[in-house]
A and B are shown apart, each in its own frame.
With several copies, the nearest count.
Chain A
Amino acid sequence: MRLHEYQSKQRLAEFGVPVPHGEIAHTPKEAFYIANRQGGHVFIKAQVLAGERARSEGIKQAHTPEEAEYYTSVMLKNNIQGLPIHKVLVETTVNIAEELYIAIVNDRSSGQPVLVATATGGMHVEESAFADPDQVIKAYINPIIGLRSYQVMRIASELNLPRDLWRKFDTLVQAIYRCYVQSDATLVEINPLAITKTQQFMALDAKLIIDDNALFRHADLAAMRDTSTEDETMIRARNAKLSYIRLDGNIGCLVNGAGLAMATMDAIHFYGGKPANFLDIGGGAIAEKIQTATEIILSEPSVAVLLVNIFGGMTRCDEVAQGIITAYRNLKSAVPLIVRLQGTKSNEACEMLNQANLLRICTMNTLSQAVIQAIHEVQNVDFSS
């Protein structure tokens, strides 16, 4: 789960990381008053879970409360990467001497957290990192021992930080690491990390991603979830513990297992079709969950056909069939249904589906057949519309 900038900063500040003074505004008027209290010179920053806000007019510098009000009013009508902006962070401007980049992220291949830093932060950090990999400084962290100060001092040295800032840098980075561990974060990123003209470190922008598997023990973080930009379908999917991602095609997919779900999308592409979604019902799903999943897909206006690809191991095909049938009956849906079921109780399932009197249903033995049939159905729909 990703946190907003203002939430990330709040969390980091709890561990002792210095951040600029800032307040959240939901209206232009609020922004005016906050800016006024801060002397007029503020940044207005759209709080939206998308990257590259600066390139999308999501960050503006105001020099008067009126400007703050104006930029806020423009922003709140805007959206970034399709996400509406419901609030902005009104933040005091800081006198910057230098900008660094620093992050802690889980490294899959070593199975360790890794500290990453570059001497030049800002929005071009990735490009310059790719252009000159040598300037990217890394320290792998023993997950049992934790981050050692000597590792941080070494990074301070490689970043060419002024020597009298090294201990302060260690204190800062240790605070970031504590925040990372105690928040069960998979990423903590501060970009830019400023050194102010008074030789203080300050996190000008921050991003935290929390491990979804660990949210059960972080009620405070779980409560930070911003559902204001999620529609009902997304919330329904999450509540049902369905992994659901909308895509821009028209073939709805209902599959068990993330790997098989991706492989099914790949097969649709392979035969020239376009999936409307990724949906993994997980292992051992029962009829109710399948019903919810089916209803979610059928409720999407873009879906012209539903392709079901289930290989029953822990998942029982009869439960899948039952869920699908109930959903179709509930919604009285006429969306064509292409079913490919294999494994546990697949014969029973096919029998159930055949006897369910759904409007247009087709059961197939192989995924290839099912995909070709689905694409065929879509083309029919396209012609008739």
Chain B
Amino acid sequence: MSILVHKLTRVLVQGITGREGRFHTGQMLEYNTNIVAGVTPGRGGEWVHGKPVFDNVESAIEATGADVSVIFVPPSYAVDAIYEAADAGIKLIICITEGIPVFEMMQVRYYLKQIGSRLIGSNCPGILVPGQCSIGIIPWQIVQKGKIGVVSKSGALCYDVVNALSAHGLGQSTIVGIGGDPILGTNFVDVLEMFENDADTDHVVLLGEIGGSEEIEAAAYIKHYMTKPVTAFIAGKSAPQGTRMGHAGAIIEGGRGTAQEKIEALSDAGVRVADHYEQIVDIIRESK
């Protein structure tokens, strides 16, 4: 078992003919991910890494039965790609693209909630299930099959932690990069809930950051609903306060969003929070 995706997931790559799309399609295929098709409007009929390219998502689904889409489309067209996937009935959309204007993200997030499609990202590394599939850009070379669920806002930090876990024999059940943008399609709480219900996960690693209140909401969820142990790290404890969003930002966030506040909330929920991310492995090993 795993969460969100698995070995049989039929993956569609939107933007497959672009530089990034093409490269990572190759990477995903090397990990035996079940990629069935790609889409680039105007490039239908071509083939990439032996997979057929279609002009639009609807015809790709008709021809191949794709049920999850991963998006490598440049920011100016990425939102349209998300709408297209959602309107064509794709229920899980993973958007790797970075740099989408935030207002469009708010709109598309609202729309997807209405029609019941889940978005991961944007600006995220995707999902990887060790031994089953890699959908996105998480380097599969560093993963190991196991029982630890990993959910992270950041990419490289996540890889570094996963690498360390694997090096110490602490394999992973599913790794989910939810992205660090202000507007996220899927939040920590969503993923924690899935891990809580996943028979293959017995421990969760949560990698958060300063900004936003997703970690606070995660702490509240963990406190009230989670039975599995959670180990966390919050990046940015020593970061200087960033550009303030005028008075409004301070008033709205009401003082939330600092690393300290997040660490306290998580600790209060029984989460063991690492001071330094290299401690995560030690904490988990101690708890075993």
Q: Residues of A at under 8 Å CB distance from B?
A: 2, 51, 101, 103-109, 111-114, 116, 125-126, 129-130, 133, 136, 138, 142-145, 148-150, 153-154, 157, 163-164, 166-167, 181, 184, 186-187, 189, 191, 207, 209, 211, 213-214, 216-217, 245, 247, 255-260, 262-263, 265-270, 275, 278, 283-284, 310-315, 342-344, 366-368
Are B109 and A313 in contact, CB atoms less than 8 angstroms apart?
no
Contact A157 B55 (CB under 8 A): yes
Binds A, one of B196-204, B224-232, B251-259: B251-259
B residues 187-214 touching A (CB-CB < 8 Å): 207, 209-214
Which one of B2-10, B29-37, B63-71, B270-278 is at the A interface?
B270-278
**Chain B interface, number of residues (Cβ within 8 angstroms):** 80
Task: Judge if B183 is at the interface, Cβ distance under 8 Å.
Answer: yes
| 18 A-B residue pairs with CB within 8 Å | A104-B248, A108-B182, A113-B103, A125-B251, A142-B110, A189-B247, A211-B102, A257-B155, A259-B154, A259-B156, A260-B154, A260-B155, A262-B239, A265-B236, A267-B278, A283-B155, A342-B160, A367-B160
Chain A nearest Cβ from B165, distance in angstroms = 13
Q: Are B248 and A103 in contact (CB under 8 A)?
A: yes
- Chain A CB within 10 A, most for which of B101, B137, B141, B243: B101
With A163-B42, A166-B41, A266-B237 in contact, do A313 and B138 touch (Cβ < 8 Å)? yes
Return chain B residues, CB-CB under 8 Å to A108: 182-183, 211-214
Contact A186 B278 (CB under 8 A): no
Q: Which residues of B contact A342 (CB under 8 A)?
A: 160, 163
- Contact indicator per residue, chain B 82-125, by CB within 8 Å of chain A (1) or not (0): 01100100000000001111110111011100000000000001
Q: Is the CB of A213 within 8 A of B102?
A: yes
Which A residues are CB-close (under 8 A) to B254? 130, 133
Q: For the complex, what is the distance from the CA of A7 to the CA of B240, rounded to whole Å?
A: 27
Instruction: List the B side residues contacting A311 at CB < 8 Å.
Output: 156-157, 159-160, 163
Query: CB-CB < 8 A to A368: which residues of B?
Result: 276, 278
- Are A143 and B110 CB-contacts (below 8 A) given A184-B101, A266-B235, A266-B236? yes
Provide the residues of chain A in CB contact with B278, threshold 8 Å: 267, 366-368
Q: Cβ of A283: which chain B residues have Cβ within 8 Å of it? A: 98, 137, 155-156
Cβ contact within 8 Å between A269 and B238: yes
- Distance between B32 CB and nearest chain A CB, rounded to angstroms: 19
Q: Is the CB of A211 within 8 A of B275?
A: no
Return the contact of B139 from the options A245, A247, A313 (Cβ within 8 A).
A313
Of B87, B210, B238, the residue contacting A275 (CB under 8 A) is: B238
- Is the pair A313, B207 in contact by a Cβ cutoff of 8 Å? no
> A213 → chain B, closest Cβ, in Å?
5
Measured in the bound complex, the distance between the Cα atoms of B77 and A2 in whole Å is 26
Query: B246 to A189, Cβ gap below 8 A?
Result: yes
For B245, the closest partner residue in chain A by CB is: A187
Q: In the docked arrangement, what's the CA distance between A11 and B200, Å?
A: 55
If A153-B56, A189-B248, A267-B278 touch, whether A112 touches B160 (CB-CB below 8 Å) is no
How far is B100's CA from A315's CA once the two chains are assembled, in angstroms? 21
Query: CA–CA, A45 to B75, complex, Å?
Result: 38
Q: Which residue of B lies closest to A367 (CB)?
A: B278
Give the distance in Å from the alpha carbon of A313 to the alpha carbon of B124 in the complex. Answer: 13
Given known pairs A144-B111, A211-B101, A270-B276, the reply for A103 and B246 (CB within 8 Å) is: yes
Report chain B residues within 8 Å CB of A312.
139
Is the pair B106, A113 in contact by a Cβ cutoff of 8 Å? Answer: yes
Which residues from A are CB-within-8-Å of B207?
A: 259
**B contact residues around A145 at 8 Å (CB):** 83, 107, 111
Q: Assess whether A263 is in contact with B252, with CB atoms less than 8 Å apart.
A: no
By CB atoms of chain A within 10 A, which of B99, B102, B236, B237 has the most?
B102
Q: Which 7 A-B pairs have the closest CB atoms?
A: A259-B154, A257-B156, A103-B248, A214-B101, A150-B84, A259-B157, A105-B248
- Interface residue? B142 (CB, 8 A): yes
**Assuming the A-B contacts A262-B235, A344-B139, are A256 and B156 also in contact, with contact meaning beta carbons closer than 8 angstroms in the complex?**
yes
**A150 close to B276 (CB less than 8 A):** no
The answer to whether B160 and A269 have CB atoms under 8 Å apart is no
Contacting residue for B103 out of A116, A211, A310, A344, CB 8 A = A211
Contact A150 B110 (CB under 8 A): no
Q: Please tell me if the beta carbons of A150 and B249 are within 8 angstroms of each other in the complex.
A: no
Q: A153-B56, A263-B276, A269-B238 are in contact. List 19 more A-B contacts (CB 8 A).
A: A106-B103, A111-B184, A150-B41, A150-B81, A153-B55, A186-B102, A191-B246, A213-B99, A214-B101, A259-B154, A259-B156, A263-B233, A265-B238, A266-B237, A266-B275, A313-B125, A315-B156, A342-B163, A367-B160
Instruction: Indicate which residue in A114, A191, A258, A315 contacts B252 across the interface (CB closer than 8 Å).
Output: A114
Least Cβ distance of A359 to chain B in Å?
A: 28
Q: Which residues of B contact A166 (CB under 8 A)?
A: 41-42
B172 contacts the other chain (CB 8 A) = no
Any chain A CB within 8 A of the CB of B261?
no
Asked if residues A153 and B106 are in contact (CB atoms below 8 Å), the reply is no
* Residues of the A chain whose Cβ atoms lie less than 8 Å from the Cβ of B26: none
Q: Are B246 and A260 in contact (CB under 8 A)?
A: no
Residues of B within 8 A of A343 (CB): 139, 141-142, 159, 163
